[in-house]
């Protein structure tokens, strides 16, 4: 079976280095190997964002970020989720196949409620929309962060339910596999908890100068004195350094920790310069893209056109398999 890579990109806030190492870097790497569909999930964002300007701005910002980081529109499709409105239809069809008890078991739903978000039905149905997102393009491989494992499990379940209910002999939907890198399962934020926008502990991909310094300086460390040996493996700063360092740099810094005489302040300085260098080129490309919004919109428009074509192929089969009538013709 042909591999089709599908993944959604958050548009509910500024993207951070946890998003980058957890998923975006894998998205960009996979574009070289497979047909792929990446979309900015503005319908999903509506479960929590009520501000139209903010939603619009964040959508474009996510597109600029992807392009700046090396997304290549010649190789892959990047678009806005809502440019494929057939998704809402497929979500409805899947809703009718999904027991509410499954949705109440969703860890992300429980988390969001615990954070005080309003339990609207969109929030509860979030994983169903995500299943539609993946299956409407015939996705077989879904690169995501570790927190999305359950959503992909639910997607697999929904694909099987649909196929069993409507098209056992000639299944319409492939059952997709998650693609989750264990090595980046947990990226700590500045307070040591998992880096997440909702914890307010993120470091933005394009943070620089004084903002970046302030964020890095506030990373929580223990109080081992400067002269004493330190344990790199229990330190948040080192966990972040590992993401940016090559093997030699990592070994060198590890040694300095263990040897002693190397303070957390030193490590933080090193991290600041690593982040600044690592995203340096992307930062320049970003400045350029911000000056050319028409180019960004062209990329999204073309990606959306191709995404919609692919989605329509599946929806024709879905409509016919489910007995939905179309009386108006095309």
10 binds ligand TRP (CB under 6 A): yes
- Catalytic choice (75, 197, 242, 312): 197
135 binds ligand TRP (CB under 6 A): no
User: Shortest gap between Cβ of 108 and ligand TRP (angstroms)?
Assistant: 7
Stretch that binds ligand TRP, among 4-12, 61-69, 167-175, 299-307 (CB under 6 A): 4-12
Residues 73-132 within binding reach of ligand TRP (CB under 6 A): 130
Compare residues 8 and 204 and give the one whose CB is closer to ligand TRP.
8
In the residue annotation, 112 being an active-site residue is answered as yes
Residues 192-211 within binding reach of ligand TRP (CB under 6 A): none
Rounded Cα gap, residues 58 and 61, in angstroms:
5
Tell which residue, 195, 143, 271, has the closest CA to residue 18: 195
- Output Rg (C-alpha) for the chain, integer angstroms: 22
Compare residues 7 and 202 and give the one whose CB is closer to ligand TRP.
7
Measuring CA to CA, how many Å separate 56 from each of 52, 85, 288, 291? Answer: 6, 17, 20, 17
Tell which residue, 21, 7, 163, 37, has the closest CA to residue 93: 163
Tell which residue, 214, 206, 207, 259, has the closest CA to residue 232: 259
142 binds ligand TRP (CB under 6 A): yes
Tell which residue, 324, 330, 309, has the closest CA to residue 138: 309
User: Shortest gap between Cβ of 322 and ligand TRP (angstroms)?
Assistant: 22
- Catalytic choice (33, 105, 110, 112): 112
Residue with the closest Cβ to ligand TRP? 8
Stretch that binds ligand TRP, among 6-14, 69-77, 236-244, 266-274 (CB under 6 A): 6-14
6 binds ligand TRP (CB under 6 A): yes
133 binds ligand TRP (CB under 6 A): yes
Q: How many CB atoms lie within 10 A of CB 89?
A: 16
Environment class of 47 (CB within 10 Å of its CB; exposed 0-12, middle 13-18, buried 19+): buried
Encoded one letter per residue, x for contact with ligand TRP by CB under 6 A and - for no contact, window 14-43 reads ---------------------------x--
Which residues are registered as beta bridge partners of 179?
143
DSSP state of 281: H
In the residue annotation, 197 being an active-site residue is answered as yes
User: Shortest gap between Cβ of 185 and ligand TRP (angstroms)?
Assistant: 14
Rounded Cα gap, residues 8 and 41, in angstroms:
6
Both structure tokens of 51: 């501000």
Rounded Cα gap, residues 90 and 74, in angstroms:
28
In the residue annotation, 312 being an active-site residue is answered as no
Residues that are catalytic: 112, 194, 197
Which positions lie near ligand TRP, rule CB under 6 A?
6-8, 10, 41, 44, 130, 133-134, 142, 144, 148, 151
């Amino acid at each position: 079976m042909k591999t089709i890579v599908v993944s959604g990109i958050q548009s509910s806030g500024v993207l951070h280095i946890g998003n980058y190492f957890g998923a975006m870097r894998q998205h960009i790497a996979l574009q070289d190997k497979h047909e792929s569909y990446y979309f900015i999930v503005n319908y999903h964002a509506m479960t929590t964002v009520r501000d139209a300007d903010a939603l619009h701005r964040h959508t474009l910002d996510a597109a600029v970020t992807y392009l700046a980081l090396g997304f290549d529109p010649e190789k892959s499709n990047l678009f806005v989720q809502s440019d494929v409105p057939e998704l809402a239809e497929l979500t409805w069809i899947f809703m009718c196949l999904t027991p509410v008890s499954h949705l109440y078991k969703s860890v992300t739903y429980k988390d969001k409620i615990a954070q005080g978000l309003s339990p609207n039905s969109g929030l509860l149905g979030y994983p169903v929309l995500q299943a539609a997102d993946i299956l409407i393009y015939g996705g077989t491989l879904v690169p995501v962060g570790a927190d999305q494992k359950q959503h992909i499990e639910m997607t697999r379940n929904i694909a099987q339910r649909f196929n069993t209910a409507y098209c056992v002999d000639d299944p319409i939907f492939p059952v997709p596999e998650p693609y989750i890198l264990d090595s980046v399962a947990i990226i700590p934020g500045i307070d040591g908890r998992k880096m997440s926008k909702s914890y307010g502990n993120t470091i933005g991909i394009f943070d620089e100068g004084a903002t970046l310094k302030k964020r890095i300086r506030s990373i929580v460390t223990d109080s081992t004195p400067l002269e004493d040996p330190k344990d790199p493996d229990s330190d948040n700063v080192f966990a972040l350094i590992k993401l940016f360092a090559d093997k030699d740099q990592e070994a060198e810094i590890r040694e300095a920790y263990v040897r002693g005489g190397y303070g957390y302040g030193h490590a933080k300085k090193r991290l600041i310069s690593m982040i600044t260098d690592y995203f340096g080129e992307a930062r320049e490309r970003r400045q350029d893209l911000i000056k050319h919004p028409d180019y960004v919109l062209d990329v999204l428009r073309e990606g959306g056109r191709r995404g919609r074509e692919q989605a329509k192929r599946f929806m024709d089969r879905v409509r016919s398999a489910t007995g939905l009538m179309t009386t108006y013709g095309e």
